[in-house]
Amino acid sequence: MQAMIPFPDISPEIFTLSLFGIEFALRWYALSYIVGILLGWRLVVASVKRPHLWRDASAPMTPLQVEDLLTWVILGVILGGRLGFVLFYQPAYYLQNPLQILQVWQGGMSFHGGLLGVVTACILYSKRQGAPWLSVADVLCMVAPIGLLLGRIANFINAELWGRPTSLPWGVAFPGAAAQDCPDVIGICARHPSQLYEAALEGLILGAVLVFLAYRRDALKERGRITGLFFAGYGVSRFIVEFVRQADAQFITPDNPMGYAVQMGGLGLSMGQLLSLPMIAFGLAMVAWAKRSRPA
């Protein structure tokens, strides 16, 4: 009998309130966004209160300006994440159903789109405030893994974005007909808990490395270094996990059972890997640039 881990009995909803015939539910995924933003905000505030971490002992923002930036970041995450999902994953569907683009509560967010949204918000806000945008980007990238860690754990609780079938002993038997639809598996289908792999790589490990470099190795003094390391680190982590992550359903066909976005014979790249390659290239280039432009 195959060894596997049964899916824990955790409801995606923390609690539900019924008011005047309308039900309001707080879900773990929403809570992960809220807690991630709050923890990130507090860490950014703590960082700008330490001038010695920054070039010329001058933080790019005041604590009050960080609060203003928070609004821009939230808008960037939501708008960028939604538009990224629409453009990267299901453009044909939303072209035929444009009104559903606004229905964010139905699900469908892209990390890569959300990241572009935050970058845009960061640049616009920095220009408006006269702050060095690369320093602002550095501190935002330093705290971004907090949200990634919590978000991926919430994905696991929601039993979504699971991995490919596996016979490894830590495979998880995710509930639902889609998760149990494994043509080559007889009986219960166990899958890679790819959400937890991403939580560890993109969240815990990457976040710990960036905070260590910022607080112990003066990385924030080299503008763009933390940003580059985050882009490259996330890109590499996501590229690796994509090998065991189940492809998005819209890419899976009888001729393309692995769900490659780009296929070359029996090999190919998933959409997540395709979007991660420019992130890795940009990140490495940014690290090299930051090293050359650091103050003497």
CA distance 54 to 135: 8
At 105 the three-state DSSP class reads helix
Residue whose pair of structure tokens reads 């879900």 in the numeric block: 27
Q: Residue length, the chain?
A: 296
Assess contact for 234 and 284: CB atoms under 8 A. no
CA distance 197 to 218: 29
Strand partners, 51: none
CA distance 210 to 212: 5
Residue type, 187: G
Q: How many helices (H) and strands (E) does the chain have?
A: 9, 6
61, two tokens: 């923002």
Under the phi-then-psi rule, with left for phi > 0, alpha for psi from -120 to 50, and beta for the rest, what region is 30? alpha
Residue from 75, 56, 51 nearest 125 by CA: 75
Backbone angles phi, psi at 218, to 5 degrees: 55, 30
- Say if residue 42 carries a ligand binding annotation: no
Strand partners, 19: 22
- Burial of residue 157 (CB within 10 Å: 0-12, 13-18, 19+) is buried
Q: Which residues are annotated as a binding site?
A: 152
